[in-house]
């Protein structure tokens, strides 16, 4: 079999070599000719999988996307061709949760604000929104959930209306898929009108899809009435609105989900699904592939202050490094994609084991709400 895969997918050879020949390609520029004789196609979010890409291929047996979002997939077309498809729901949700938590700590530090008194409005309470809520709950930070679809489905959590969210949230963080139709379409959910309705000075974080925020409206707002903004995703990726970048507090190139664990789990979930489709047993283990837990001696109090917590979070993942690099490269041709391709995968908190300088165990990660072994 021939497997055509996005070159930015870790552990593909370790997991899929038994199935046949692996051809790694640039996902953004994959062509119909390149996939014409593929038996299996494994992509990430930058490959549009549709009739234009697949029309020349009559033997495709499986398409997988190692991502949470599936807006790049023409599901109807795959169904019409009877081609099995799998994505990787939730694979990088912890990574996004930790990114948003780190971003909040950075903003609090920059503006000398306390997170304790803030109310964080989470738009979309699925896997990534819930991961953010978990981190915040562990620190006693008040959250409001807005997710009319889950509310309608009888999810037992408490939800608020969009009006309440806008009226009460001191921070709004976005965790919805990009959708263009229906009562709850998310395209430009945050537009000029909504930006005016947010509480004055409300912080805004977008780590879902760029088009959920009207970037031009945001630019115009920031020019006249600046407020704290974190953008991991941009309208028009890989070419973000150049004028917008200097006006936001933290700017990164769609890497909120780029922990090693998150990316690896995406690949692994496709491996499991392909094994099912091919009726073969999945005998490989993700744990065996990931590098060992790493250890570090830090001097920390059992209940870290905000400053200590920030230091710990920066130790695991210093968001400022990605922000600094992004500002330098975002206008260079291919800068956005090259930064993503060469991104040094950060580890999640679950991969970290901490001991105090005196050798005692540090308990603060459980306080953070992150799962994992703490030694
Ligand atoms: N920046 C990144 O690296 C990154 C990583 C992972 C996912 N994402 C994006 O984030 C999106 C969400 O991921 P997830 O794992 O939480 O997905 P999910 O499907 O688990 O949850 C999305 C939630 O949004 C809700 N929703 C849909 N429309 C809504 C609306 N108009 N208002 C409020 N809620 C609405 C849904 O009911 C659902 O509960 C993905 O679709 C993807 O586009 C980005
Ligand atoms: O939907 C997702 O899972 C994320 O947006 C994903 O992490 C984006 O990364 P990419 O697929 O572009 O490498």
Which whole number is the average pLDDT over 97-121? 94
- Atom 6, ligand 2: residue with shortest CA distance: 67
Residue 369's pLDDT is 47
Nearest to 37 by CA among 21, 15, 13, 14: 21
Please tell me whether residues 118 and 217 are part of one structural domain. yes
Which whole number is the average pLDDT over 179-201? 98
Which whole number is the average pLDDT over 176-182? 98
Nearest to 120 by CA among 35, 202, 177, 216: 202
Residue 55 falls inside a structural domain: yes
Query: Final residue of a domain: which of 213, 243, 277?
Result: 277
Please tell me whether residues 241 and 102 are part of one structural domain. yes
- Atom 5, ligand 2: residue with shortest CA distance: 69
pLDDT band at 243 (very low <50, low <70, confident <90, very high): very high
Residue 375 falls inside a structural domain: no
177 CA from centroid of ligand 1 (Å): 4
Dihedral sign (CA 36, 38, 39, 42):
negative
pLDDT band at 292 (very low <50, low <70, confident <90, very high): confident
Please tell me whether residues 244 and 111 are part of one structural domain. yes
From residue 229, how far is each of 104, 191, 194, 226, 320 by CA, in Å? 10, 14, 15, 9, 14
Which whole number is the average pLDDT over 1-13? 97
Residue 282 falls inside a structural domain: no
The neighbouring-strand residues paired with 6 are 25
Q: What confidence tens digit (pLDDT) does each residue in 135-156 have?
A: 888 778 899 999 999 999 999 9
Instruction: Using a cut of 0.90, tell me whether the model's pTM lies above it.
Output: yes
Please tell me whether residues 77 and 125 are part of one structural domain. no
Please tell me whether residues 27 and 119 are part of one structural domain. no
Q: How far is CA 351 from the centre of its chain?
A: 18
Peptide bond into 238 cis (omega under 30): yes
More confident residue, 301 or 193: 193
Residue 358's pLDDT is 66
CA dihedral of residues 131, 178, 192, 219 (deg, nearest 10): 80
Please tell me whether residues 220 and 350 are part of one structural domain. no
Atom of ligand 2 nearest to the CA of 44: 11
Residue 299's pLDDT is 53
Catalytic site positions: 209, 237, 254
Residue 47 falls inside a structural domain: yes
Residue 374 falls inside a structural domain: no
Please tell me whether residues 102 and 242 are part of one structural domain. yes
* 71 annotated ligand binder: no
Q: What is the 3-state secondary structure of the chain? A: CEEEEECCCCCHHHHHHHHCEEEEECCCCCCHHHHCCCCEEEECCCCCECHHHHCCCCCCCEEEECCCCCCCECHHHHHHCCCCEECCCCCCHHHHHHHHHHHHHHHHHHCCCCCCCCEEEEECCCHHHHHHHHHHHHCCCEEEEECHHHHHCCCCCCCCCHHHHHHHCCEEEECCCCCCCCCCCCCCCECHHHHHHCCCCCEEEECCCHHHECHHHHHHHHHHCCCCEEECCCCCCCCCCCCCHHHCCEECCCCCCCEHHHHHHHHHHHHHHHHHHCCCCCCCCHHHHCCCCEEEECCCCCCCCHHHHHHHHHHHCCHHHHHHHHHHHCCCCCHHHHHHHCCCCECCHHHEEEECCCCCECCHHHHHCCCCCCC
pLDDT band at 280 (very low <50, low <70, confident <90, very high): very high
Please tell me whether residues 15 and 158 are part of one structural domain. no
Residue 121's pLDDT is 98
65 CA from centroid of ligand 2 (Å): 9
CATH number assigned to the domain comprising residue 117:
3.40.50.720
Please tell me whether residues 235 and 107 are part of one structural domain. yes
* 232 annotated ligand binder: yes
pLDDT band at 355 (very low <50, low <70, confident <90, very high): low
Which whole number is the average pLDDT over 175-192? 98
14 CA from centroid of ligand 2 (Å): 21
240 lines ligand 1 (CB under 6 A): no
Please tell me whether residues 240 and 330 are part of one structural domain. no
Residue 271 above 50 pLDDT? yes
29 lies in which domain range? 2-87+259-277
Lowest mean pLDDT, pick from 58-72, 173-187, 277-291, 352-366:
352-366
Q: For the chain, what is the mean pLDDT?
A: 92
| 8: Cβ contacts below 8 Å, ≥ 6 apart | 27, 44, 340, 341
Whole-complex ipTM: 0.99
Task: State how far the Cα of 86 lies from the Cα of 267, in Å rounded to an integer.
Answer: 11
Please tell me whether residues 62 and 158 are part of one structural domain. no
Task: State how far the Cα of 82 lies from the Cα of 76, in Å rounded to an integer.
Answer: 10
CATH number assigned to the domain comprising residue 338:
3.30.1370.170
Counting the structural domains of the chain, the total is 3
* 259 annotated ligand binder: no
Please tell me whether residues 119 and 181 are part of one structural domain. yes
176 lines ligand 1 (CB under 6 A): yes
């Amino acid at each position: 079999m021939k497997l055509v895969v996005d070159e930015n997918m870790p552990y593909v050879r370790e997991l899929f070599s038994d199935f046949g020949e692996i051809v790694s390609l640039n996902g953004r520029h994959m062509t119909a000719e390149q996939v014409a004789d593929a038996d299996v196609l494994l992509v990430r979010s930058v490959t549009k999988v549709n009739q234009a890409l697949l029309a020349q291929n009559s033997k495709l047996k499986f398409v997988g996307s190692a991502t949470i979002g599936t807006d790049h997939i023409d599901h109807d077309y795959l169904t019409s061709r009877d081609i099995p498809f799998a994505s990787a729901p939730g694979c990088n949700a912890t990574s996004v949760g930790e990114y948003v938590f780190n971003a909040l700590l950075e903003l609090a530090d920059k503006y000398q604000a306390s997170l304790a008194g803030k109310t964080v409005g989470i738009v979309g309470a699925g896997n990534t929104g819930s991961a953010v809520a978990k981190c915040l709950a562990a620190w006693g930070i008040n959250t409001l959930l807005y997710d009319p679809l889950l509310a309608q489905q009888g999810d037992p959590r408490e939800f608020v209306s969009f009006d309440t969210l806008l009226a009460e949230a001191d921070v709004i963080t976005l965790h919805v898929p990009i959708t263009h139709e229906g009562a709850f379409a998310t395209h430009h959910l945050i537009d000029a009108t909504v930006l005016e309705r947010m509480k004055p000075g409300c912080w805004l974080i977008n780590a879902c899809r760029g088009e959920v925020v009207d970037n031009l409206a945001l630019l115009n707002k920031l020019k006249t009435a600046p407020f704290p903004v974190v953008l991991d995703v941009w309208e028009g990726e890989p070419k973000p609105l150049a004028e917008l970048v200097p006006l936001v507090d933290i700017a990164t190139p769609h890497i909120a989900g780029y922990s090693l664990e998150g990316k690896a789990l995406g690949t692994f979930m496709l491996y499991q699904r392909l094994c099912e489709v091919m009726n073969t047993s999945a005998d490989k283990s993700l744990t065996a592939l990931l590098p060992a837990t790493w250890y570090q001696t830090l001097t920390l109090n059992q209940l870290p202050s905000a400053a200590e917590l920030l230091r710990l979070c920066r130790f695991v993942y210093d968001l400022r490094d990605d922000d600094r690099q992004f500002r330098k490269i975002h206008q260079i041709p291919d800068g956005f994609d090259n930064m993503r391709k060469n991104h040094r995968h950060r580890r999640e908190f679950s991969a970290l084991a901490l001991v105090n300088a005196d050798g005692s165990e540090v308990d603060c990660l459980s306080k953070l709400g992150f799962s994992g072994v703490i030694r």
